[in-house]
Structure formats: structure tokens, C-alpha cells
Amino acid sequence: MGVTTDQDEQAEAPSPGSDSRPFPRRHGRGRIAAAVSVFGELLITAGLVLGLFVVYSLWWTNVLADRKADRQGAKVRDHWASATPDSGPGALDTKDGIGFLHVPAMNNGDVLVEKGTETSVLNDAVAGYYTDPVKATLPMTGRTGNFALAAHRDGHGAKFHNIDKLKKGDPIVFETKDDWYVYKVFAILPQTSKYNVEVLTAVPEQAGVKKRGHYITLTTCTPVFTSEYRYIVWGELVRVDRVDSKRTPPKELS
């Protein structure tokens, strides 16, 4: 190990009047670095919180809503199974649900249909039929009109998430206690104002029809992850199949 001499100490000693603090500006730079570090940590935390919120909104709400819809759908089917032949059609009982929507192109399973399009209804992973501002015509009544439905596209079951997969000619099947109502898609409106109630009317002229008939209309939000506009799909009834004892689905669902 080397030895320090008096000359070395004199050479290393600061001259009188000089600032003996080495690199005096480091304190300012340190404060800036610390502030940047804290800000970065806050951004990371905010990102994690936002990510968790997205997971909750787009995945966990689906899980919870689907579970509830499955339980409710089971109640409807149990009600159908226990109904006696003279108890009436049962399909007009809107307490638990009126039937199930099947849309193969959307790959969304059987979707319970209930009364109303309020958020409190649709959040249960169901499709709701309109009662306001235009009242939907239920197919079980036999009357001409428009069976207009809505469902979420994202979150809370997202039952109409794949509505853009539907093409003209694709089947839409509505199952009730007694009948299968088979519709065929004939018109699509990829984007329209959410205030456009004309798409729900009994004779939806924007679909290109001019006379009364038996129509079905599916509506949901668009673009994906927003609610700025509405996506519309129209179908027309092509036939009604009677439900047999085994509830054999129509060929369109095979």
C-alpha cells in the first residue's frame, strides 16, 4: 500500500477561497431524478389499475353475467318442462324470460330473451326486447310486426359481440316453449345513430321493406368497445317449426 507524503497532501488541499464541495450541481440533478422516478412509478401504478379495470369490465363481468343468465335460463326451461298442456303457451310469461335466441354465426350459445332494454336487464347477459320508444311485436302473438332486440357487445356477457359476423342469408332462430321461429337475415346496417328509432318500427323501411311482415331486428353498440353508434341486423320469418317432445332443434342449428 502506498504512503502519502506532505507534498501530496499540499497538492490535494484546495486553494484558499475555492469551493471545497465537489460537483455542487449534483443535488439539483438528484432531485430531478427522484421526481422522474416517482412519476414513473405513478404511471406504472396507474397502468396496472387501468389494466385491472379493463379485465374486470371485459372479462370478469362476462363471467358473472353468464353465470346469472345460466341460472335464469335453467328456471325458464324448468318452468316449460313442468307446465301442463292446458296451462297455456307460457311463452308470454315475461317474469323469467320468454325464450332463447340462437344465432350460429355469432357463436354465442342460447341467449335468454327478457322484457326491456334497460341496462339493468342487459347486464344480466341476456337480450332484451324493446318496450320503448317502439314496442316490439312478440312472434308468439301471431301478429305482423318487428321483434326488435338489443344486447351488449362488450362486457356483461357480450351476447352480440360477433354481430358483424352475420351475413345475408344467415339464420336467426328464436326458441319458445312451443315453437321454433326461423328467420333469415336479409339486410344489415353497420352504423347508424343511437337515436335512430326508425330501425325498430313495424315496417323498417331502412331495411328496404315497404309492407308489413314478420321481422326480427338485432341491435347493439358499435364500434367495438364504444357506444357511439348502433349496428343493426334485420331478418324475416321463413317458417315456424313445432317443438317436439325431445325439443329437436331445426336443421339450421344442427
Q: Which domains does the chain have, with CATH numbers?
A: 57-253 (2.40.260.10)
Sign of CA dihedral 223, 229, 230, 231: negative
Identified catalytic residue from 65, 166, 221, 237 = 221
Q: In whole angstroms, give the CA distance from residue 32 to residue 37.
A: 9
**Confidence (pLDDT) at 28:** 65
**Confidence (pLDDT) at 64:** 86
Cell triple for 232: 343493426
CA angle 34, 40, 43 (to 5 degrees): 145
**Confidence (pLDDT) at 124:** 95
Instruction: Please indicate whether residue 121 is annotated as part of the active site.
Output: no
Question: How many Cβ atoms from other residues are within 10 Å of residue 226's Cβ?
Answer: 10
Q: In whole angstroms, give the CA distance from residue 83 to residue 33.
A: 74
**Confidence (pLDDT) at 254:** 86
Q: In whole angstroms, give the CA distance from residue 235 to residue 168.
A: 9
**Confidence (pLDDT) at 102:** 98
Torsion of CA 204, 210, 214, 218, to 10 degrees: -20
**Confidence (pLDDT) at 63:** 82
**Confidence (pLDDT) at 226:** 92
**Confidence (pLDDT) at 176:** 95
Amino acid at 64: L
Residue 197 gets the label, from left (phi > 0), alpha (psi -120 to 50) or beta, of: alpha
With a cut of 50, list the residues of the chain below it in pLDDT.
Answer: 1-14, 17-18, 20, 23, 51-56, 86, 90
